[in-house]
């Protein structure tokens, strides 16, 4: 979104707050389609040679085990999805993660983010939508810049088991823009995030639906590593429309995007 503010400027992967850089100034800033809690869609991402391509799955409410990490199955005999990322659902607010974006409750420029419940409170041009975890909780809301900055990253290494396959995932929603600034169905610009584990590019994923939570997934084998650092990097270098929410960022041995049946 452009750095000029709309008169009705009103929250975020995260990767957060969304800036006005991607929305035109002649829009009416009215509320667009609600994002809801359940959505689906293909990731549409561009796989890299550094990792598997992965796909996205149904985006419904995320419920994961909060107990200590374990490879043991749950009561139903299925593997338990234990998230190794602290505050991956942003329920604790703006803590336990880092960002190259600037934290701001009110969006005035690209490269700002907020952790809140309503994107329109951050920027009046954005749609109103609930978070992915519960529909009423906190999420990362960001205004993407035209540079490949880290939208979200871990500030401390995460302990992992060697020679183990892990899923690094996130749920992402396009937020730009409310009706009057597009056709109300398609985002003004897609969100493109690159997933990295220990600086290895696992893949770049695209979230291309307005107001719909899309699960983006990659996989990583730890090899000889006993810890890992993670980051989500903005891969959309066009500022227009590059406004998104991110939630339920996840690392574990069971996919939350494509849970076992």
Q: pTM for this one?
A: 0.74
Q: Please provide the average confidence, as pLDDT, over all residues in the chain.
A: 77
- What is the rounded average pLDDT of the residues 228-254? 94
What token pair was written down for 253? 């041995």
CA pair distance 250, 215, nearest whole angstrom: 11
pLDDT at residue 137 in the model: 98
Question: For residue 10, what pLDDT is reported?
Answer: 31
Alpha-carbon distances, residue 76 vs 12, 72, 84, 101, 169 (angstroms): 36, 11, 21, 42, 24
Per residue in 61-95, pLDDT (tens digit) is: 444 443 334 445 566 667 778 999 999 999 999 99
For residue 138 the two structure tokens come to: 């906190």
Average pLDDT estimate for 242-250:
96
Segments making up each domain of the chain, as ranges:
1-261
* 103 and 114 Cβ atoms separated by less than 8 Å: yes
List the helix and strand counts (H, then E) for the chain.
1, 12
CA distances from 253 to 89, 125, 148, 206, 248 (A): 17, 38, 28, 23, 15
pLDDT reading at 7 higher than 80 = no
User: Lowest mean pLDDT: which of 37-46, 52-61, 140-149, 162-171?
Assistant: 37-46
- Dist CA 209 CA 5 (whole Å): 24
Distance CA 89, CA 247 (A): 5
A 10 A CB-CB count for 36 gives 16
**Residue 261: its pLDDT value, please?**
59
Pairwise CA distance, residues 196 & 238, whole Å: 21
Q: Are 194 and 235 in contact (CB under 8 A)?
A: yes
- Could you please state the CATH topology (level 3) that the domain comprising 1-261 is classified under: Jelly Rolls (2.60.120)
Supply 144's token pair.
């993407």
The CA dihedral of 249, 251, 255, 258, to the nearest 10 degrees, is: 20
pLDDT tens track for 147-196: 999 999 999 999 999 999 999 999 999 999 886 777 777 888 889 999 99
Residue 209 to residues 47, 155, 177, 241, 261, Cα–Cα distance (Å)? 19, 30, 11, 12, 26
**In this predicted structure, what is the pLDDT of residue 74?**
61
Q: What is the pLDDT of residue 19?
A: 37
Q: Is 39's pLDDT higher than 60?
A: no
Provide the pLDDT for residue 25: 35
């Amino acid at each position: 979104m452009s750095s000029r503010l709309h008169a009705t400027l009103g929250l975020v992967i995260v990767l957060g707050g969304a800036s006005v850089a991607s929305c035109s100034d002649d829009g009416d800033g009215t509320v667009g389609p609600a994002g809801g809690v359940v959505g689906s869609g293909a990731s549409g991402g561009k796989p890299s040679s550094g990792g598997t391509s992965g796909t996205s799955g149904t985006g419904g409410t995320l419920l994961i085990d909060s107990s200590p990490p374990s490879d043991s199955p749950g009561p139903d005999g299925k593997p338990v999805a234990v998230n190794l990322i602290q505050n991956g659902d942003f329920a604790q607010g703006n803590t336990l993660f880092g960002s190259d974006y600037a934290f701001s409750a009110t969006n005035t420029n690209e490269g700002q983010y907020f952790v809140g419940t309503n994107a329109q409170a951050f920027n009046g041009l954005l749609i109103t939508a609930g978070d992915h975890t519960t529909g009423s909780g906190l999420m990362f809301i960001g205004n993407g810049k035209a540079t490949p900055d880290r939208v979200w990253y871990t500030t401390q290494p995460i302990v992992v088991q060697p020679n183990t396959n892990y899923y690094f995932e996130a749920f992402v929603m396009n937020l730009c823009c409310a009706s009057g600034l597009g056709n109300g169905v398609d985002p003004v610009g897609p969100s493109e995030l690159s997933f990295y584990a220990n600086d290895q590019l696992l893949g770049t994923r695209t979230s291309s639906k307005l107001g719909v939570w899309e699960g983006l997934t990659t996989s990583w084998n730890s090899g000889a590593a006993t810890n890992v650092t993670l980051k989500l990097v903005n891969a959309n270098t066009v500022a227009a429309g590059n406004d998104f929410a991110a939630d339920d960022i996840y690392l574990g041995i069971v996919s939350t995007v494509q849970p076992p049946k």
